[in-house]
Amino acid sequence: MAALFEHSPWVEARADAAPSRGDRHADLMAVVEAASVEEQLALIRAHPELAGRAAIDRTLTEASAAEQASAGLDRLTPAEYAEFHALNAAYRERFDFPFIICVRLTDKAGILAAMQARLENEREQEIATALAEIGKIVRLRLEDMT
């Protein structure tokens, strides 16, 4: 079974150990919301950069590789790759974690526009946005399992 959270099995383990609300997504996201800021940041940092090194050296998880491919991130021109690389670097420099977006709900142009716009956000806002995007990713992964 594919992992719902990137390299973060603790989320599912904690949800499994807690009483269920009858909604797996809600159970999982309750764990994320109750986690410490350090744990939330570790969860965010477990995600790969979009069109980043992990895509090139093929170390993406199967789910991430498929999701990035669905948005065309596996077929970038050299100019597009350079733009993603520059925006990833600027984003990581500003926030100290990778840019997270549910790529299955957008396309290359939408991702680039979001990266540029979200660089203007405050760090706390970006943490909340990244966690919300992880929630969207997990919801779609759960739907894929049913």
Instruction: List the catalytic residues.
Output: 47
Long-range CB contacts for residues 133-136, cutoff 8 Å, separation at least 24: 133/100, 133/101, 133/102, 134/5, 134/32, 134/43, 134/44, 134/47, 134/100, 135/25, 135/29, 135/32, 136/102, 136/105
CB atoms within 10 A of CB 61: 16
